[in-house]
Each structure stands twice: as structure tokens, then as C-alpha cells.
Amino acid sequence: MIESVSAIVFAVLTGIVIIFQACLAAGAPWGAASMGGKYPGKYPSKMRVVAMINMLVLGFIAAIVLSKADVLLPQLKTVATIGIWVVVAFFVLGTVMNTITPSKIERIWAPVAFLQLVTSLIVAIG
């Protein structure tokens, strides 16, 4: 039960990040809150493509967590068994990077990444 709830919380948080990336890709002037603030304002075209790729990667990551917790996509279970640990490592790094970023506004993502780390770890060890 706790694994399922954790996976759903993880997916909701990841959905928020995907929406943020979609806004960046669509030209929202929020670049200071991403990529260390290297691209303040609207992302240039190349970075908008990166934001779209990030959306796909984050969607796959959410699918791995949901599959591992037996919430959705049972056909990914084999990949999810190993992939969940890649997800956990990814969010260890994400938490650190969002904490130490030179962009003060980007640090708002540190608690989100930390909650994603905790919820993915619960799913991994569950």
C-alpha cells in the first residue's frame, strides 16, 4: 500500500515538473528556474528541444516507478526492477544539483527532487 501511494505521489510531482518543462518548451520566460539559470527569460530554440526531451525522459521515469509499484504498466516490470535504482540515483543527483545551483529561484525544485527521491526509494525497497 505504501509503495502504491509513494508511486502516485512521485507521479504527481513528476507531472508538475513535466508541466514546467512544457511551459519552458512553449516559451514561458522561466529559464532562470532551470539549468542553473544559464538561460534567463525564454529558452532559445535548442533548449526548447531539450525541454521536450526532458518531458519524455521524465514520463518514462514516472512509468518505471508506477510499474515497479504495480500501479500501472505491468509490461515494464522487468525493466522497472533494475530501473528503479537508476531513478533513485538520478534523484539523489537531482536533489544535490537543485540544492547547490547558483540560481536562487531554481532551488525551489530541491524539495520537489527530495520528495521524488524519498518516494522512489520507498518504491525501490518496498
Domain boundaries of the chain, sorted by first residue = 2-125
* DSSP for 67-126, written as a single string: HHTTSS-GGGHHHHHHHHHHHHHHHHHHHHHHHH-S-TGGGGHHHHHHHHHHHHHHHHH-
Looking at residue 25, its pLDDT comes to 98
Looking at residue 53, its pLDDT comes to 98
Looking at residue 90, its pLDDT comes to 98
Looking at residue 96, its pLDDT comes to 97
CA angle 93, 99, 103 (to 5 degrees): 115
Spans of the chain below 50 pLDDT: none
Looking at residue 20, its pLDDT comes to 98
The helix/strand/coil state of 44 is: coil
Looking at residue 57, its pLDDT comes to 98
Q: How far is residue 80's CA from residue 63's CA, in Å, rounded to a whole number?
A: 8
Q: Around Cβ 42, how many Cβ atoms within 10 Å?
A: 15
Looking at residue 60, its pLDDT comes to 97
